[in-house]
Amino acid sequence: MTLSAPSTPSRVPRPPAADGARLTLRDAVLGRRGAPVLAGVGLDVVPGEVLAVVGASGCGKSTLLRTLAGLLPPLGGEVAEDGRPLTGPGGGRALVFQDDGLLPWRTARANVELPLAIGKMPRSQRRARAVEWLGRVGLTGCEDRLPHRLSGGQRQRVQLARALAGRPRALLMDEPFGALDAQTRAGMQQLLVDVLRSTRATVVFVTHDVDEALFLGDRVALLGSSPAAPVRLVAVPRPRDRAAHDTAATAAVRRDLLESLAS
């Protein structure tokens, strides 16, 4: 599948992007009561950063993401957004899942409009915003299609447009491309990189794929296999280019991450 180039309707003015949120955990204990998954977590995700999160199954990647989304309160320590305690879900944070979660009876445009309608945006404005974002993710001409008439990759692009249409300051992504075939997944990764160039959103991206983490992330957070294991942060060599995969610096980081995951 080939992704079409994103386009932007010229009639829709694009306001300046909001600064990304700063997400901070200090000595945080995460999980459910009686069943902590992560303990003593210290993490500072700076505004505009893409932090990729990897770790073995069950190590707490999704728990970390849901805590940052405000869906799961910490059991201890501090979780903050821009220095203020994070006490619940907020409009400035958007979640993107592996399951696109589109409503099957709503068109692509109507799915993108839904959170804007919930936020009381006037109909003409939310329609223009939805059309703009569908264009930016390469779905111009697909606005009136129902989800069953879209491919898996197209549905994920609708989900991405829906998340970004609200101009979130933080985008929290839980293996959003994990169910896609290799070619479509690579296209979605590149699309995300391209779209993020025009926003300043902070991104926390959970993945099982080390190569995906190295392509997308500015840093990689490696979660340990037990609650007491510390979070290890690894800087990703640049430039962000698939050709850099074979450079000595990137190959060394990749080998280190794979060995840590295997141990």
146 CA to centre of own chain: 24
Order of strands, sheet of 93-97, starting from the edge strand that comes earlier in the sequence: 93-97, 170-174, 202-206, 50-54, 219-222, 232-235
Provide the pLDDT for residue 18. 60
Of 109, 223, 124, 225, the closest CA to residue 158 belongs to 109
Q: Region 108-134: what's the mean pLDDT?
A: 94
- Two tokens at 101? 């979660």
Provide the pLDDT for residue 47. 94
Does domain 23-102+172-262 fall into CATH 3.40.50.300? Answer: yes
Dist CA 26 CA 40 (whole Å): 7
Provide the pLDDT for residue 105. 97
Q: pLDDT by residue (tens digit) across 5-60?
A: 343 333 334 444 568 999 999 999 999 888 888 999 999 999 999 999 998 888 88
Residue 142 has pLDDT above 90, yes or no: yes
Q: Region 70-95: what's the mean pLDDT?
A: 91
Q: Residue 65 — pLDDT band, cuts 50, 70, 90?
A: very high
Using left for φ > 0, alpha for ψ between -120 and 50, and beta otherwise, residue 77 falls in left
Q: pLDDT by residue (tens digit) across 216-240?
A: 999 999 998 777 677 899 999 887 7
Dist CA 199 CA 164 (whole Å): 9
Provide the pLDDT for residue 19. 84
Hey, is 177 helix, strand or coil? Answer: coil
Dist CA 78 CA 75 (whole Å): 9
Residue 163 has pLDDT above 50, yes or no: yes
Helix axis angle, 152-165 relative to 123-136, nearest 10°?
130
Of 230, 181, 196, the closest CA to residue 39 belongs to 230
Provide the pLDDT for residue 17. 52
Q: Region 170-174: what's the mean pLDDT?
A: 95
CA 252-256-261 angle, 5° bins: 150
Q: How many CB atoms lie within 10 A of CB 87?
A: 11
